[in-house]
Amino acid sequence: METKQEIEEQKKYINKVKTENKNKNLKYTIITMGCQLNENDSEKLAGMIEQMGYNKVDSFKDADLCLFNTCCVRENAEDRLFGKLGELKRIKEQKGTIIAIGGCMMQEKQMVEKINSSYPFVDIVFGTHTLHKFPEDLYNSLQERNKVRDILDIDGKVYEGLPIKRTSNTQANVTIMYGCNNFCSFCIVPYVRGRERSRHPQDIIREIKELAQEGYKEITLLGQNVNSYLRVEKWKEKSLDWNGINSFATLLRAINQIDGIERIRFISPHPKDFTDDVIEAVRDCEKVCKLIHLPLQSGSTKMLKVMNRKYTKEQYLELVSKMQQKIPGVVFTTDIIVGFAGETEEDFEDTLDIVEKVRFEQVFMFIYSIREGTPGAKMENQIPDEIKHKRFDRLKELVESQVEENNQKYVGTVQKVLVEGKSKNNPNMLTGRTESNKVVVFEGDENLKDQIINLKIVSQHMWYLKGEII
Ligand code: SF4
């Protein structure tokens, strides 16, 4: 079946469930684990669920439908899921809550087997390639009170036209490509999200134009390997070129032209795909934030090879330096894995060396944990936990020692800040973010929410800057 037809089919199921649910005042909650791609998937699920007559609640205790959108990148997500399922069992016995689990973890056979054997009360299990079929799965579950297991082990397609319920009125995530072809040896994503496939430029531009009309100001383009957008399609020689868009760089340039959109971000690019045309597009497009997330993973060329990252320490540093020369004011954030199999003290010091040199605005640090089904899991030279933790603490110390210096450079400057609303820690203050994603806290009228305003930065603190309206 064509994807368009499939979505039309699902719309029929949305209407069927809506009719079933009429006047029942049903509630739903979604518990999302993992990355922004998963958050974007949850927004699509929420869009479908609300059209089926459910209203959102925060606590799963009050929900008639409780959905988990899982991630399998970190081990602790499993503990979190099973802990919550234990709690939900009792609630389900009392009020008949429908329990659904989707997302990456459900693409792992052993996880589905565990749910079937130890948590048989789970009603619906669906995978990353069957998200769009959730209305049908829910309908079947409601009708027959049967267990629905809907997982496809093939590469998914690209589905357009799903309803979406966004969590913000000003900042929107827009997934532009799915899957990954890189097979980094620590990562499960290519096995659970399938091979790379890109959305058609026309669909992306239409979505962003609609967002601009609705008042959205900031767009984050998402993809597991976002800067290889359209690469596979080009390999297949489909000669894809829609209104001049035939690459990630040309897509950035086209989005930059859309009136109403004021900020463009993208995650996560791969250093090996950060080609000159992308660097030039970032430089030329005034709306593209000059904060680049550039995942490093390790600073050791030997470890990068073991990780199958396809760049060396020197190439990474050259790329950073090239961007610093070409893009005025560019700053970086990164991801680092500590303690991957075979990492020696010398390798770890190479990582510290890069952190010293690049002075990242933020480092997302992870202690390596084995993911079954990846090449890393089969490597014999795993690092003892104690060493991993000690290295992690050393890296954390270095990163934190750089924060103050990094933040200090903002003091006295004027920054454009997108106001997000009241600060959670101090309701008398407002909070917002700079182009470089720094949190700024300041005094101001709540009407400023959702606007981009100029603030003078007057002081810096570990996790935020303090500003004043000028
Ligand atoms: S680039 Fe590597 S780390 Fe990123 S999703 Fe692909 S395989 Fe995983």
pLDDT in tens, 272-284: 999 999 999 999 9
pLDDT at position 193 is 86
Q: What percent of the chain has pLDDT over 70?
A: 98
Cα 184 to middle of ligand 1, angstroms = 5
Determine the pLDDT at residue 76: 75
1: buried, middle or exposed (CB in 10 Å: 19+, 13-18, 0-12)? exposed
pLDDT digits (tens, 9 = 90+) for 96-153: 999 999 998 898 888 899 999 999 999 999 988 899 999 999 999 998 767 887 877 7
Closest residue CA from atom 4 of ligand 1: 224
Output the pLDDT for position 95: 87
Number of H helices, E strands in the chain: 15, 19
Confidence of residue 466 (pLDDT cuts 50, 70, 90): very high
Prediction pTM value: 0.92
pLDDT in tens, 386-431: 999 999 999 999 999 998 888 999 999 999 999 999 998 888 899 9
Fold (CATH) for 3-150? Rossmann fold (3.40.50)
Residue 255 pLDDT > 90: yes
CATH of segment(s) 168-289: 3.30.750.210
Return the best residue to mutate from 270, 274, 297, 306 for the ligand 1 pocket (most ligand atoms within 8 A of CB): 270
CA of 240 to the centre of ligand 1 (A): 25
Phi, psi of 434 (to 5 degrees): -80, 175
The pairing of strands 439-442 and 430-433 is antiparallel
Q: Is the CB of 337 under 6 A from ligand 1?
A: no
Take atom 5 of ligand 1 and give the residue whose Cα is closest. 224
The pLDDT of residue 3 is: 85
Hey, do 3-150 and 293-407 end up sharing a CATH topology, with the first three levels equal?
Answer: no
Closest CA to 298 of 279, 312, 282: 312
Q: How confident is the model at residue 236 (pLDDT cuts 50, 70, 90)?
A: low
Q: Report the C-alpha gap between 119 and 341 in whole angstroms.
A: 33
Mean pLDDT of 349-369: 96
Q: How far is the CA of 188 from the centre of ligand 1 (A)?
A: 8
Arithmetic mean of pLDDT, 335-343: 97
SS3 178: strand
Letter for the amino acid at 324? Q
| Ligand 1 binding pocket includes 182 (Cβ within 6 Å) | yes
56-111 per-position pLDDT tens digit:
999 888 999 999 999 877 767 888 899 999 889 999 988 899 999 999 889 888 88
Question: Domain map of the chain by residue range?
Answer: 3-150, 168-289, 293-407, 414-469
Nearest CA to ligand 1 atom 8: 187
Distance CA(353)–CA(299), nearest Å, equals 7
- Between the CA of residue 362 and those of 80, 147, 324, what are the distances in Å? 26, 44, 17
Ordered strands of the 291-293 beta sheet: 291-293, 331-338, 362-367
Domain 293-407 has CATH 3.90.930.12: no
CA gap 348, 304 in Å, rounded? 12
Q: Which of 31, 23, 25, 82 is nearest to 61 (CA)?
A: 31
Let me know if domain 414-469 sits in CATH 2.40.50.140: yes
Ligand 1 pocket test, pick from 37, 182, 197 with the greatest ligand atom count within 8 Å of Cβ, gives 182
Do the beta carbons of residue 169 and residue 47 sit within 8 Å?
no
| Residues 259-270 pLDDT 10s | 999 999 999 999
- Return the best residue to mutate from 184, 191, 293 for the ligand 1 pocket (most ligand atoms within 8 A of CB): 184
pLDDT digits (tens, 9 = 90+) for 191-226: 888 889 999 999 999 999 999 999 999 999 999 999
Q: What is the DSSP letter of 292?
A: E
- What value does the mean pLDDT of the chain take? 92
- CA–centroid distance, 310 to ligand 1, in Å, is 11
Residue with CA nearest ligand 1 atom 2:
184
Of 174, 166, 132, the C-alpha closest to 150 is 132
pLDDT computed for residue 152 by the predictor: 74
298 Cβ closer than 6 Å to some ligand 1 atom: no
The predicted pLDDT at position 237 comes to 61
The proportion of the chain whose per-residue pLDDT surpasses 90, expressed as a percent, equals 74
The phi-psi region of residue 339 (left if phi > 0; otherwise alpha if psi is between -120 and 50; otherwise beta) is: left
